[in-house]
């Protein structure tokens, strides 16, 4: 009878409360639960387990997984373990106050602890002091957790040749780390918590490299010199790298590859996504299509409302005779002078320019908004007035910013018949000349001091140049020429320039040799000649010295380079070679007298990537030495020095040409014949920003305007 009652009670035990081998450890937690004590656990803002009770929960999960999961389980993702995992999670929730969203973390931690337990058993009982396998009996300490069958299967798996090979590889990889972790079982999360508490800091997290350094400080409290070196390098990089840089500061300092899903210096539980705002489920194509339709309908409604409002305001203002102009609803075809008006917050004239009422006309390759015409703004009457349709291409949002560019303007707010007065022309011209002069002065003084804050470059000259371009035959296939003086490349010629070259700059595409050559003409005219630098610096034509010609006509390249060097053999000079490898621009700076070649590559490649380039340059320098009758020892015959400069690195596949032009510009701005290995202190940075690249574009466009290439 008693046995029947006991069996009946046993049947009432729920699957949630059942643990197959029974809870034999962490009695404090289980006994506390019996008294109604549920422990709270805390997490940092990166999703890591911290104190109070972080260590307790970790130990409790380890006890559960040792009890519930057999040691013969090699694949934690095996679906056959789902039932056991569910029991583990249920037991955790019974003892700890924990949210459902933390299940993923706990299950990953359980898998990690199970792997650690198997490794411990193998190292402790199945290997001798020399690491050789021994046929050990099941330890009595773990007889309640491990059956004899499981133990034999575990030993068999550990003796498998495939496992032995993988184990040896992993053991070798993990042996003798350069920077060993010295905090024992204290993870990065709890280490960070203790550091913040000790410093009484209001911050919620610490930089990865700060944690990394502290985790490698032993009981002595003194970090190793190697660790300090990495930490100091991280501190330097943190001053120059963008917070959004895809490769972490610590990884750059250690010079090691990034692994997918890994965040160095943060520890278990931190992923790239946990450091940023978590993204929701990506919408389906149907949802995106519905959103686009809704946005288009809303945009059309707003446009109709704006046009109706503008018409009403205009009629109200006309009735009061408050406008000194005659509105012409029928704008004549062609290009006409006009006045530009806005209707909100009141009707007033904000600018003057020209309206282009031409069939099929486009605005920056886009169709005009409904009810609008294309206008060019010449004069800003109300400079701060907002454009009715801001320009996407030129970033212009006000009338002043739109001067010299094309914008869309509502037809009912255009008054034709206005002509630019002579005094307005002279005033506008004087203002433009003043701006050009100021811009030129800024270029000349660009190397003065790095600490001087630079004003964000505008798109003024690009917009103006684009306006001029659209009024010529160049977009339809016409070409112009820019004269290249003999002093630039050693021969006199005219550089052809067409629409494709302009669009490379306007649309931020990979630049070709035409843009490079004409920018070199700008450097020659604006930086070298006025400052007497043409005596100490020179250029070699990229159309003559490039990888393609070296492979097809090496004699032609050698003859040209040697001729230029011999023409300047009496004085020390640094020659720039903008070198194109067929899809990438890099810079070679050669000092032939000292036989030094500076190699600047914004992709970080070594010169060994292009061996034929190095062979040709070395050959030319040796021939240059021979023609100057310079005697050298046999050992020193090949002692040409190549120096790889740690120059700013590009972050896309387009900017190499702009970076290469800035390398020349920075060197000329400082006027130095020697380029430091870690680049110039005045211009040192991890990468050039968009504003710094835009400076090159603005200088080029301004120079094209000054050369009057459209005449």
Banded model confidence at residue 602, pLDDT cuts 50, 70, 90: very high
pLDDT at 436: 40
Banded model confidence at residue 679, pLDDT cuts 50, 70, 90: very high
Average of per-residue pLDDT across 630-641: 61
**Calpha distance 616→556 (Å, rounded):** 11
End-to-end CA distance of the chain: 114
List Cβ neighbours of 76 (8 Å cut-off, separation of 6 or more). Answer: 111, 114, 115
Does residue 420 have a pLDDT over 50? no
Instruction: For residue 386, give the DSSP letter.
Output: B
Strand-pair partners of 643? 598
User: Are the C-beta atoms of residues 523 and 663 closer than 8 Å to each other?
Assistant: no
For the chain, percent of residues with pLDDT exceeding 70? 78
pLDDT at 613: 92
List Cβ neighbours of 582 (8 Å cut-off, separation of 6 or more). Answer: 546, 547, 548
Q: Can you give 14-61 as a three-state secondary structure string?
A: CCCCCCCCCCCCCHHHHHHHHCCCCEECEECCCCCEECCCHHHHHHHH
The pairing of strands 574-580 and 537-539 is parallel
For residue 348, count other CB atoms closer than 10 A to its CB: 15
For residue 398, count other CB atoms closer than 10 A to its CB: 16
List Cβ neighbours of 44 (8 Å cut-off, separation of 6 or more). Answer: 50, 189, 192, 193, 204, 205
List Cβ neighbours of 595 (8 Å cut-off, separation of 6 or more). Answer: 621, 625, 639, 640, 641
Banded model confidence at residue 296, pLDDT cuts 50, 70, 90: low
**Calpha distance 662→650 (Å, rounded):** 12
Place of tokens 């009484």: 200
Distance of CA 260 to the CA centre of its chain: 17
pLDDT, tens digit (0-9, with 9 covering 90-100), for 132-172: 888 888 888 888 888 889 998 888 888 888 888 888 888 77
Q: What tokens were used for 495? A: 């550089």
């Amino acid at each position: 009878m008693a046995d029947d009652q006991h069996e009946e009670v046993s049947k009432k035990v729920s699957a949630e409360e059942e643990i197959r081998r029974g809870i034999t450890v962490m009695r404090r937690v289980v006994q506390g639960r019996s008294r109604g004590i549920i422990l709270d656990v805390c997490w940092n803002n990166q999703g890591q387990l911290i104190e109070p009770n972080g260590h307790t929960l970790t130990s409790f999960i380890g006890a559960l997984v040792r009890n519930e999961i057999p040691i013969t389980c090699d694949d934690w993702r095996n679906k056959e373990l789902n039932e056991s995992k569910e029991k583990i999670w249920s037991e955790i929730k019974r003892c700890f106050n924990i949210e459902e969203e933390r299940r993923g973390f706990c299950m990953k931690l359980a898998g990690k602890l199970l792997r650690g337990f198997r490794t411990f058993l193998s190292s402790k009982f199945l290997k001798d002091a020399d690491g050789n396998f021994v046929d050990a009996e099941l330890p009595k300490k773990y007889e309640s957790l491990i059956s004899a069958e499981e133990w034999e299967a575990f030993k068999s798996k550990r003796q498998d040749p495939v496992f032995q090979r993988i184990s040896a590889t992993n053991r070798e990889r993990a042996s003798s780390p350069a920077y060993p972790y010295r905090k024992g079982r204290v993870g990065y999360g709890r280490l960070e918590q203790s550091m913040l508490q000790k410093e009484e800091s209001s911050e919620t997290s610490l930089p990865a490299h700060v944690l990394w350094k502290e985790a490698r400080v032993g009981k002595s409290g003194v970090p190793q010199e190697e660790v300090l070196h990495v930490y100091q390098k991280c501190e330097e990089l943190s001053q120059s790298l963008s917070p959004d840089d895809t490769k972490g500061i610590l990884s750059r300092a250690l010079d090691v590859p990034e692994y997918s899903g890994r965040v160095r210096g943060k520890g278990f539980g931190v992923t790239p996504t946990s450091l940023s705002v978590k993204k929701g489920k990506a919408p389906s194509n149907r949802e995106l299509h519905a959103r686009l339709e809704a946005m288009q309908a809303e945009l059309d409604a707003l446009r109709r409302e704006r046009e109706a409002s503008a018409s009403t305001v205009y009629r109200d203002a006309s009735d009061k005779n408050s406008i000194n102009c005659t509105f012409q609803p029928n704008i004549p075809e062609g290009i006409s002078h006009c006045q530009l008006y806005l209707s909100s917050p009141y009707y007033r004239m904000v600018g003057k320019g020209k309206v282009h009422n031409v069939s099929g006309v486009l605005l920056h390759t886009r169709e005009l908004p409904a009810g609008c015409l294309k206008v060019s703004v010449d004069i800003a009457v109300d400079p701060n007035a907002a454009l009715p349709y801001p320009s996407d291409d030129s970033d212009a949002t006000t009338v002043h910013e739109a001067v010299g560019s094309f914008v869309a303007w509502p037809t009912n707010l255009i008054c034709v018949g206005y002509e630019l007065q002579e005094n307005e022309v002279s005033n506008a011209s004087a203002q433009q000349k003043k701006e050009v002069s100021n811009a030129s002065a800024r270029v000349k003084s660009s190397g003065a001091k790095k600490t001087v804050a630079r004003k964000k470059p505008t798109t003024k000259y690009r917009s103006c140049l684009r306006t001029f371009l659209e009024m010529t035959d160049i977009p339809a296939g016409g070409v112009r020429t820019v004269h290249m003086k003999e002093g630039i490349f050693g021969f006199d010629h005219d550089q052809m320039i067409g629409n494709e070259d302009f669009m490379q700059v306007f649309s931020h595409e990979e630049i070709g040799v035409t843009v490079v050559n004409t920018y070199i003409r700008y450097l020659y005219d604006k930086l070298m000649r006025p400052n007497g630098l043409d005596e100490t610096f020179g250029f070699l034509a990229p159309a003559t010295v490039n990888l393609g010609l070296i492979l097809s006509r090496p004699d032609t390249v050698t003859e040209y380079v040697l001729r230029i060097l011999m023409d300047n053999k009496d004085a020390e000079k640094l020659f720039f070679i903008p070198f194109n490898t067929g899809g990438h621009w890099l810079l070679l700076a050669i000092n032939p007298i000292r036989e030094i070649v500076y190699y600047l590559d914004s992709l970080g490649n070594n010169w060994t990537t292009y061996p034929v380039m190095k062979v040709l340059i070395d050959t030319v320098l040796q021939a240059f030495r021979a023609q100057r009758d310079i005697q050298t020892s046999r050992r020193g015959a090949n002692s040409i020095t190549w120096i790889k400069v740690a120059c700013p690195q590009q972050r896309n596949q387009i900017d190499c040409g702009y970076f290469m032009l800035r390398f020349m510009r920075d060197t000329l701005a400082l006027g130095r014949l020697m380029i430091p290995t870690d680049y110039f202190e005045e211009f040192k940075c991890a990468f050039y920003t968009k504003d710094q690249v835009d400076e090159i574009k603005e200088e080029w466009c301004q120079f094209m305007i000054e050369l009057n290439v459209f005449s």
